[in-house]
Amino acid sequence: MIKSIISYFKGILGYSILILNTIIGFILLLPIAYLKKLTSNNNIKKYCLMYLHKVGKTWIQINYLTIRISNKLNWRITGLEQLLNLPKDKWYLLIANHQSWADVFILQFIFRNHLPFQKYFIKEQLRQFPLMGFIWEAIDCPFLKRLDNKNLSANPVLQGADLLEIKEKSKKFKLLPSTIVSFLEGTRFTTQKHQQQQSEYKFLLKPKAGGIACVLQELHKEIKGIVDVSLFYPNKNVTLWDLYTGRMNNIAIKINFITIPKWLSEKHLDNLEYELYKDEFQIWLKKIWLEKDQFMQDQNILS
């Protein structure tokens, strides 16, 4: 009983600090964000973005310390040593499975000192999210409208429009080195979604290749490597609340740094469209996902 009460107050305190941290960050970002938005000078935009990244990194560090101080974290991370000597002035693509809303925080905490500032593709619906919608836009996280099967059936001409939008909006990342994060499953894993997809993987949904193919096609000169992350939570259906209350203090994480394959680099040099090498790309991605699924199975047995 006492343990539950302490856990509850940890959650309340953690959420309160998170909200306060976000409000302060918003105030610090506001004037520079508007300057960046109003100016057409790319050099000014770049310096503004450097400032915004620093504020963002401070926001992440405070969130991490809040959880680190209040909870004993037992995160079993393997493969992090591969990133120790990576240059911070380059671009990277980070791919991961998607288990929880807390995934973003976990990735931010793990790589805060090892990779450039992380940026995500955000669902258009989240643009209206209080404060954070403005912040995501300020740091050049692209907002995307996802087309469902119903819309595509009614408007076949829209087929592939989302991929073209990803490619176009990827240009925003060129202004300053960053880590572009993509949850390739496109949505959080649930048993229902897994059954609906009839996924061939035991612990994962099917990865969607088109999005990262477009990112790589647009940024093949900038991106210096791919960071593949597998996230496994022994407790199922975890939330951000579980992270702050300590229920989510046992996590298994596997990191694999992937040099962009020569065949993929050659495709870029030839300036080929994704459709011309889609099968080869999907076979390559399937191999990564099979290894990730095996890691999840092994961890499930250990837990």
Domain boundaries, the chain: 74-302
Please say whether the beta carbons of 138 and 119 come within 8 A.
no
* Full 3-state SS string of 208-224: CHHHHHHHHHHHCCCEE
**pLDDT computed for residue 156 by the predictor:** 38
Using DSSP's 3-state secondary structure scheme, residue 92 falls into: strand
Backbone angles phi, psi at 205, to 5 degrees: -85, 170
**pLDDT computed for residue 230 by the predictor:** 97
Please say whether the beta carbons of 289 and 114 come within 8 A.
no
CA dihedral 35, 168, 123, 176 (to 10 degrees): -50
**pLDDT computed for residue 148 by the predictor:** 55
**pLDDT computed for residue 146 by the predictor:** 64
- The Cα 47–Cα 180 span in angstroms is 19
**pLDDT computed for residue 119 by the predictor:** 93
| CA-closest candidate to residue 288, choices 254, 262, 265, 239 | 254
Q: What is the pLDDT along the chain (303 residues), one digit of tens a residue?
A: 788 888 899 999 999 999 999 999 999 999 999 999 999 999 999 999 999 999 999 999 999 999 988 888 889 999 999 999 899 899 999 999 999 889 999 999 999 999 999 999 888 888 888 888 899 989 988 887 765 555 434 433 334 456 677 777 788 888 899 999 999 998 889 889 999 999 999 999 999 887 888 888 888 888 999 999 999 998 777 888 988 988 887 899 999 999 988 888 777 777 777 777 788 888 999 999 999 999 999 998 877
Single-letter residue type at 55: V
Please say whether the beta carbons of 123 and 133 come within 8 A.
no
The H or E element spanning position 171 is none
- The Cα 172–Cα 169 span in angstroms is 6
Residues in the chain: 303
Backbone angles phi, psi at 166, to 5 degrees: -60, -45
**How many C-beta neighbours within 10 Å does residue 90 have?**
15
Q: Which fold has domain 74-302?
A: Glycerol-3-phosphate (1)-acyltransferase (3.40.1130)
